Amino acid sequence: MLECGVLINEIKVGINFNFYNVVGCLLSHEHGDHAKSHETLMRYGVDLYTSAGTARALAISVDNHRLKKIAANDILTIGEFRILAFKVEHDCAEPLGFIINHPESGNILFITDSFYVSNTFKNIHNIMIEANFSDAIVKERMANGYLPDYRANRLFKSHMSLETCIKTLQANDLSQVQKIILLHLSDGNSNAEYFKNEVIKATGKPVTIADKGVKIEHFNQEPF
Amino acid sequence: MSVQNQAPQIAQEGKTIVDLTLTKIQQLEATNSILIPKDYSAANAIRAAALILADQKNRSDVPVLQACTKESICNALLKMVVQGLNPVKRQCSFIPYGNVLTLQREYQGSIAIAKRYGMKSVVANAIFQGDDFAFEVDVETGRKKILKHVSPFESYGDAIKGAYAIVEMEDGTKNVEIMTMPQIQSAWNQGQTKGTSSAHKNFPDQMACKTVINRATKTIINSSDDADLFEDDPITIQETPTSADVKTHISQNANAGNPIGFDEGNSPKEIHQAEEAEKSIPVPTTPFEAAPPAEPIPSAEQNQDGQPQSTLFPY
């Protein structure tokens, strides 16, 4: 399970009430839209894998045996998954991104809530990456007074713009990439259709916009 | 680089840029490419600017002389010289936008320039709630004239209704510029802080006076022969200082270093190793081994709180 920022009931419906297949939960950082249900999940017996900084920020007791602290550059195995954590850039304690390896899905790159990433990545088969806002939309909304400066300034230093997202994708070897999923689109500062087309134009890969209830088929190493 | 030897280095850097700019100005002057105002010492202003710049840091606490490009620093200094502004008298200030240093003319600078073009004096007053204020427009000349402005002391300093500035030219003509508070507020809205800075909040009357003086002197400056030298700062903001800073930061730091990831294929026995020792981002050197799910994570043993680590797996 990747993040737990929705109500526990929605998680239950999402996994068809079957916790048997859940081997653990990877948590990138402490903000509510990612970590909301962490407490309940841990009580239900799901191991929470997150950074020491995030655990501290969430006030999770160090004695909690469901807490598995990880740090950037750690490699771990959870069930059939292998995880490589790396540092990302967000306005919180110790945010992480992940490369998730599974025999079925190959290597999945997961980056969210990061205004850029310092690493590059190799042998990636599927990508989940944040594209939060576009420069043009933000500037227009600032000029019209819909977006106060302090909020825009926070945005620039915490979330990834479409432009940075495309540059990040282009900086990496995409030859084996099957699918790109865009995450964390801002409600006001983005335009799903435009974002999708821009990323398709830049990468030539199938692009999906993650939204509530969107099911993504064939998230595999091979195209079919 | 240690902190101790950083200061002389920045001073040195400032000195080179000063010399560079001065040489450039002397070249331009020699070929009559620029005319510097008579009462203005370019060398003094540039040396003063160098001192100010040596102390100035950007939002990421990096000295601007390091963060900004040499070209942009030279350009900002040149812009200061051709306008005949002095940074020590706060006639202008230097603002870093990412790696670009820009020059912003302050209202004292506007007054200084307007004085060179025949302005004798400018006086501004704020109009407070409760003031008795009236003006008329001379239908012949179109010039405004203040008929009366009586301010009861009891309401002096109350909410501001507006402000006016009276400009007297050397030939004796007088010009009056009047702005209502909503007009002043829209002028503030063009600025970075949109009138929410502590100066605007704590001293709204002084800030309102500055705004109306700026407007009053603008006509004099922009109708001068050298109007093109003093072009106004663009009204639409292309970048905020933060967004420009962030962009520079991203371009310098993003997507660098050797790629990390699992090697080709999916064999769970595969070993992931650091490729080169000189990598900027440390990658784990401990070989990865297929481990049972419940194996403790290496970092979990180091308790960052410094408290004795309790058993992670008590059963």
Q: Report pLDDT for B220.
A: 83
CA-based nearest distance B101→chain A, Å: 19
| pLDDT one-digit tens code per residue, A118-145 | 999 999 999 999 999 998 888 888 777 7
* Domain match, B128 and B218 both: yes
What range defines the domain where residue A120 resides?
104-224
Number of neighbours of residue B121 by Cβ within 10 angstroms: 13
* Domain match, B124 and B69 both: no
* Domain match, B99 and B135 both: no
Q: Judge: A120–B256 Cβ closer than 8 Å, yes or no.
A: yes
Q: Report pLDDT for B35.
A: 73
CB neighbour list of residue B268: distance below 8 Å, 6 or more residues apart: A77, A80, A82, A103, B290
Q: Report pLDDT for B311.
A: 37
pLDDT, average across residues A47-75: 92
Domain-located, residue B283: no
Inter-chain Cβ pairs, chain A and chain B, closer than 8 A: 152
Q: Report pLDDT for B2.
A: 47
pLDDT, average across residues A151-174: 90
Domain-located, residue B298: no
Rounded to whole angstroms, the Cα distance separating B19 from A96 reads: 47
Domain-located, residue B294: no
Q: Report pLDDT for B306.
A: 43
Q: Judge: B310–A62 Cβ closer than 8 Å, yes or no.
A: yes
* Domain match, B95 and B133 both: no
Domain-located, residue B155: yes
Q: Report pLDDT for B231.
A: 55
Q: Which residue numbers in chain B have pLDDT < 50? A: 1-3, 232-237, 266-315
Domain-located, residue A32: no
Domain-located, residue B263: no
CB neighbour list of residue B15: distance below 8 Å, 6 or more residues apart: B50
Does B197 reach chain A within 8 Å, measured CB to CB? no
Alpha helices (H) along B117-259: 181-189, 198-202, 204-222, 241-253
Domain-located, residue B76: yes
Cβ within 8 Å of B, A 165-194: 167-168, 171-173
Percent helix, strand, coil in chain B, to 5, is 40, 20, 45
Q: Which of B196, B222, B248 is the last residue of a domain?
A: B222
Q: Which two tokens stand for residue B132?
A: 């008795």
Instruction: List chain A residues with CB under 8 Å of B304.
Output: 52-53, 56
Q: Which of B177, B200, B222 is the last residue of a domain?
A: B222
- Alpha carbon of A4 to those of A212, B231, B285: distances in Å? 13, 54, 31
Q: Report pLDDT for B302.
A: 43
To the question of pTM greater than 0.80 for the whole model, the response is no
Cβ within 8 Å of B, A 65-104: 65, 68-71, 73-80, 82, 84, 86-87, 99, 101-103
Query: Quick check: A169 and A127 in contact, CB under 8 A?
Result: yes
Q: Report pLDDT for B271.
A: 36
Domain-located, residue A50: no
Q: For B273, which residue in chain A has the nearest alpha carbon? A: A75
* Domain match, B68 and B129 both: no
Domain-located, residue B78: yes
Could you tell me whether strands A120-121 and B259-260 are parallel, antiparallel, or unpaired per DSSP bridges? parallel
Q: Report pLDDT for A117.
A: 92
CA-based nearest distance A167→chain B, Å: 9
Rounded to whole angstroms, the Cα distance separating B271 from A66 reads: 27
Q: Report pLDDT for B194.
A: 76
| pLDDT one-digit tens code per residue, A98-120 | 999 988 888 999 999 999 999 99
Q: Report pLDDT for B315.
A: 40
pLDDT, average across residues A210-218: 74
Cβ within 8 Å of A, B 2-21: none
Report DSSP letters for A118-161, one per residue.
Answer: S-EE-S-SEEEEE--B-HHHHHHHHHTTSS-HHHHHHHHTTS-B
Does B192 reach chain A within 8 Å, measured CB to CB? yes
Q: Which of B50, B82, B106 is the last residue of a domain?
A: B106
What range defines the domain where residue B70 resides?
3-106
Mutate to test the interface with A, among B190, B192, B196, B250 (most CBs of A within 10 A): B250
Closest CA to A116 of B280, B260, B255: B255
Does B74 reach chain A within 8 Å, measured CB to CB? no
| Structural domains in chain B (count) | 2
| Structural domains in chain A (count) | 1
* Domain match, B99 and B131 both: no
B105 half-sphere exposure, CB direction, 13 A CA radius: 27
| pLDDT one-digit tens code per residue, B7-30 | 666 666 666 777 888 888 888 777
Could you tell me whether strands A75-78 and A207-209 are parallel, antiparallel, or unpaired per DSSP bridges? unpaired
Rounded to whole angstroms, the Cα distance separating A68 from A54 reads: 11
Instruction: List chain B residues with CB under 8 Å of A103.
Output: 266, 268
Domain-located, residue B230: no
Q: Residue A210 phi/psi, 5° resolution?
A: -75, 130
Rounded to whole angstroms, the Cα distance separating A195 from B201 reads: 40
